Amino acid sequence: MKSNTARIAVAAAAIAQKIKNVLPFAKLRLRLQRKNFTVISMASQQVQPKLVIHGGAGSCLQSKGGIEAVRKSLYDVLEAVYPLLKNGASAVDAVVQGCRLLEDDPRFNAGTGSVVQSDGQIRMSASLMDGLAQRFSGTINVARVQNPIELAQFLQTSDDRVLSDYGAAELLRELQLPIYDPMTDLRLHEWMQERQGNFNKAMATVVAEPAGVGTIGVVALDTQGRLAAGTSTGGKGFERIGRVSDSAMPAGNYATGNAAVSCTGIGEHIMDECLAARIVIRVTDGLSLKAAFERSFAEADDRKRDFGAIGIDANGAIAIGKTSEIILGAFHNGTEMGNTLEANKGTLVFVA
């Protein structure tokens, strides 16, 4: 009996040792299987990135070189930024790059080519909103910088996320950004004509678009389903010193995990409607992006507003709306590019 008991004990010990030796490999295999499953799951959850941009709203393309020149400028930005999204860039990074390119194009009223205020100075505003973090940042009436959107990007991680003129100027010094003059010959000539007419805004359309309607904006959905929106402007043109643009407010630029919107047009009208936030909140409350745009622009049309907006929702729907005659909108839906430069005049909501 004792010998049998001893043999059983020895066998049991041997089996236990084998289990002990095999168990780490079994656990490792299970971890690898779980890791592989996670990778496969993450890959399957990737979405088709979407991108929509605008170069302002108004009534005439003549001052910007005509429809083909504007279309080329917008498509150049789409062709530069969309591949970044396809390669995994975040929505925030894509929005910043798109805004930077539009700010550098003198056709548009943002960055280089910004309109001039009544005292002959250029003051610019920009904002950025990360939909995933639901974090807003911006700069108001900043001068002597090439890309105001870069200040908004830096402020995303700051405790103080919106800075006005003096604070923005101090931030420029801290970041050691080079001093830059965004004035163009066109804008200088426009301001000189207005000065001769004692800043009668009827003159504003002689060499440029009607005052108060120029802005640029970018909205993006990345492969991880994250949304972001950015808006930048040179302001209204010939305005009272200190006037604050909608572009540096959630009224003109807003994003959550459900939708993101950038606006353009007469800033005071956009503020009165709180347009960007209104559309996004309506999507959050259950409306489709199309329905949110249609309701918001129908209300705006009744109140004789003059503006436009672009947006994307979490499902990848793209919308462009306007009450103005023209909105300089363009988009990339993953398979093709399109634009609204030849859309019918009057109130319209376009969905891609």
User: What's the maximum distance between 2 C-alpha atoms anywhere in the chain?
Assistant: 119
SS3 label, residue 169: helix
Half-sphere exposure of 235 (CA within 13 A, CB side): 25
Q: What distance in Å separates the CA atoms of residue 310 and residue 174, rounded to the nearest whole number?
A: 34
**DSSP characters for 210-275?**
PTT---EEEEEE-TTS-EEEEEEE--SSSPPTT---GGGSTTTEEE-SSEEEEEEE-HHHHHHHTH
Q: Are strands 337-339 and 348-351 parallel, antiparallel or unpaired?
A: unpaired
CA-wise closest residue to 131 among 263, 222, 52, 245:
222
Q: What distance in Å separates the CA atoms of residue 224 and residue 37, rounded to the nearest whole number?
A: 17
Q: What distance in Å separates the CA atoms of residue 330 and residue 340, rounded to the nearest whole number?
A: 6
**Counting beta carbons within 10 angstroms of the beta carbon of residue 42, is it exposed (0 to 12), middle (13 to 18) or buried (19 or more)?**
exposed
Q: What distance in Å separates the CA atoms of residue 38 and residue 196, rounded to the nearest whole number?
A: 68
Residue whose pair of structure tokens reads 């609204």 in the numeric block = 340
Residues 6+ apart with CB under 8 A from 106: 112, 113, 184, 186
Is 215 considered catalytic here?
A: yes
| Cβ–Cβ under 8 Å, residues 186 and 19 | no
Q: Are strands 326-332 and 318-322 parallel, antiparallel or unpaired?
A: unpaired
CA-wise closest residue to 270 among 54, 50, 51:
54
* Residue of 5, 139, 184, 215 marked catalytic: 215
- Catalytic residue set: 215
